[in-house]
Amino acid sequence: MSERVFMKGCEAIAEAATRAGCRFFAGYPITPQNEIPEYFARRMPEVGGTFVQAESEVASVNMLYGAASTGIRAMSSSSSTGISLYSEGISYSASARLPIVYVNVQRGGPGIGAIQPSQQDYMQATKASGNGGFRMIVLAPSTVQECVDMVYESFDLAERDHNPVLILTDGVVGTMMEPVVLPPMKSDEEIQKLRDAFKYRAIIGHPLGEAAYCRPGSVGSGQEQVNIEADKLYKTWDKDVRVEEYLTEDAEIIIAAYGISARICRAVIKQLRAQGYKIGMIRPIRVSPFPYEAFSNIDFDRVKGILNVEMSIPAQMRWDVDYAVQGRCPIRECLRSGGQLLTNEQVMKAAQEMIKEVL
């Protein structure tokens, strides 16, 4: 049986990446994700990897682009304002179809905002991570164990699709400590095999007379063909939807929440259930592709209302919830932002108000 260890979220992210075969990390300090590069600075030399503290976020993402081009498993991380500076490099990576992984440990905004946790980057992550309209799979953990599992899986997803993958978490999950079961460490042989599988398109030294791989049409008139190919990929992601439907079978009110907000809501739902109220929750585990069917297939004869809970003002995930529900029941909100944390009491009050309104 695997050993359970007590780890902080950010450190667990870095260890999971290392065990998944990540051997290059470039990053720049910003709260509340500093423990990720700090951990990598110690860990990469131990496994023969490379750690670079870049001079900026722009330098970090371009180093990530360069490292991934060689076929090595590469990763970076930042928080909110830093992620905004990543946008050009992420767009370049999407155009080049590079399998990069990066992490956003969200903080309050807009602008420099606050160093405390937030969920104000949802729209950026799922709709506009850079120019050109590209898309990514975006995973949203609510526990430290999910951080570990999702990071470990993300490298496989990135390499399967030749596309960037984002882990969208927040300062609560990143800084709290929980027991986790760590995945196995990939062997040097396994890592080399993964790199060899990418060799045909890696930007590395080639024998004289052998042409280096160049993605056709990556600029100019050929860019449209690249976008057509990417669109075909995105249409296969129906099978990649991941969602938790918690106590929804008989629910008369559904709470919509993800990440740390969903974790708070779970505790409130248990309290309300104990009082006899039929409350459930739909939690997107991957916020892209979004689980539209989980909401559109609700029995609206039974469900009288949806409470959208997130640490963002204005609400952002609600856009996707509205799109799925199409006005078939009332949707209300319970929100905080700018680094102000949701509380059980606040969610409870909002739920009780909806109960009075619709039941």
Q: What does the pLDDT read at residue 223?
A: 84
Region of 107 on the Ramachandran plot (φ > 0 left; ψ -120 to 50 alpha; else beta) = beta
DSSP state letter for 208: T
Range 180-192 average pLDDT: 96
pLDDT, position 224? 87
Asked whether this chain's domains 4-238 and 242-358 adopt the same fold, the reply is: yes
Count Cβ atoms below 10 Å from residue 252 Cβ, excluding itself: 16
- What pLDDT, on a 0 to 100 scale, did the predictor assign at position 215? 58
**The pLDDT of residue 202:** 81
* φ/ψ bin of 129: left (φ > 0), alpha (ψ from -120 to 50), beta (otherwise): alpha
Give residue-wise pLDDT tens across range 300-310.
999 999 999 99
pTM summary value: 0.95
- Tell me what percent of the residues of the chain surpass a pLDDT of 70: 95
Confidence of residue 180 (pLDDT cuts 50, 70, 90): very high
Lowest-pLDDT choice from 94-108, 123-137, 209-223: 209-223
CA 243 – CA 75 distance, rounded (Å)? 25
Which runs of consecutive H residues, i.e. helices, occur in 69-142? 81-96, 122-127
Q: 224 versus 104: which is more confidently predicted?
A: 104
CATH fold group of domain 242-358: Rossmann fold (3.40.50)
- Cα dihedral value 85, 86, 89, 91, nearest 10: -100
Residue 37 DSSP SS3: helix
Q: pLDDT digits over 270-319, tens only?
A: 999 999 999 999 999 999 999 999 999 999 999 999 999 999 999 999 99
Spatial separation of the C-alpha atoms in residues 324 and 241, rounded to whole Å: 14
With a CB cutoff of 8 Å and minimum separation 6, the contacts of 144 are: 7, 8, 9, 12, 173, 176, 177, 178, 180
Tokens of 190: 């396994």
Hey, where are the domains in the chain? 4-238, 242-358
* Nearest residue to 282 (alpha-carbon basis) of 243, 321, 317, 318: 243
Domain at 4-238: CATH architecture: 3-Layer(aba) Sandwich (3.40)
Angle, vertex CA 109, rays to CA 243 and CA 151, nearest 5: 40
In angstroms, rounded to a whole number, what is the distance separating the alpha carbons of residues 62 and 58? 6
Query: Is residue 107 predicted with pLDDT exceeding 80?
Result: yes
